[in-house]
Chain A
């Protein structure tokens, strides 16, 4: 991916040198044409077309902000509830992520969204132990983490 970005920047510079005009707009034009060429020849590279990964990162950011807002509202509801009838607890979350940065990112995202908190990662990097505000819907929160964060991170790391 880094190679493709570097190549694209280089093609933008080539375009500036060939047209003998060194303005940002000319660089942008060359960059876009280079992007088109790299897109057509995307199967030449071992990694996939790099724009897809940037889109995936943006999608992950969007999911994170959306989840942050909705679960903060959920915690406000819990705090304002007159009866303390929720049941805190710890559940194990089996993850299919493998790379270290992916697991770190997933753990941080789970922690930053209120209601759940990662307290431990098992030694073989397969299981995250998550503390939940309300254990009754543990299976539900496992599913929601799988659907949102894990899928989005997989999309970035692919």
Chain B
């Protein structure tokens, strides 16, 4: 018998976004408080796993038409790119730089290249976790 998952699915549609905004928050606060790319990526993939629990594999693939292998590759490229970018300015590999800029409405933002490195970590973590889960979950 096919059960009606309407309550689970509707709740997922709201809770999913709360988890995602929290994971973005964790990702951005990593510089000054606990958090960062790894735990942010795990939280994001946790949200996608919740989506997988509420819907089936095919529906989730339609909602998020990503190839997670490419996501891992893109993440690694981001991390290596920020490391190699330092060598263009005659400083050792993985030397980071930061600056403060003023944007009219958003106020003062401090930009650090470590965030891009973290973004790479984030993408790799999401990609690896989702590849593992989808490979185990898929029966083809």
> Using a CB–CB distance below 8 Å, which chain A residues touch chain B?
7, 11, 14-15, 18-19, 23, 25, 28-30, 33-34, 37-38, 40-41, 43-45
Q: Which of B21, B29, B106 contacts A14 (CB 8 A)?
A: B21
Q: Is the interface of B mostly helix, strand, loop or mixed?
A: helix
Query: Which residues on A sit within 8 Å (CB–CB) of B14?
Result: 7
> Using a CB–CB distance below 8 Å, which chain B residues touch chain A?
13-14, 16-18, 20-22, 24-25, 29, 51, 62-65, 105-107
Query: Which residues on B sit within 8 Å (CB–CB) of A37?
Result: 17, 20-21, 24
In the complex, which residue of chain A has the Cβ closest to the Cβ of B20? A37
Query: Which residues on B sit within 8 Å (CB–CB) of A38?
Result: 17
Query: Which residues on B sit within 8 Å (CB–CB) of A45?
Result: 13
Knowing A25-B105, A25-B107, say if A44 contacts B63 (CB, 8 Å): yes
* A23 to B106 alpha-carbon distance, docked (Å): 10
B24 touches A14 (CB 8 A): no
* A33 to B13 alpha-carbon distance, docked (Å): 17
Give min CB distance, A106 to chain B, whole Å. Answer: 34
Give min CB distance, A11 to chain B, whole Å. Answer: 5
Central interface residue in B14, B16, B21, by most chain A CB within 10 Å: B21
Query: Which residues on A sit within 8 Å (CB–CB) of B22?
Result: 14, 18
Give min CB distance, B82 to chain A, whole Å. Answer: 21
Knowing A18-B25, A25-B107, say if A43 contacts B17 (CB, 8 Å): no
B13 touches A44 (CB 8 A): yes
**A-B CB contact pairs (8 Å), 28 listed:** A7-B17, A11-B18, A14-B18, A14-B21, A15-B21, A15-B25, A18-B21, A18-B22, A18-B25, A19-B29, A23-B107, A25-B105, A25-B106, A28-B105, A29-B106, A33-B21, A34-B17, A34-B21, A37-B21, A40-B64, A41-B16, A41-B17, A41-B63, A41-B64, A43-B62, A43-B64, A43-B65, A44-B13
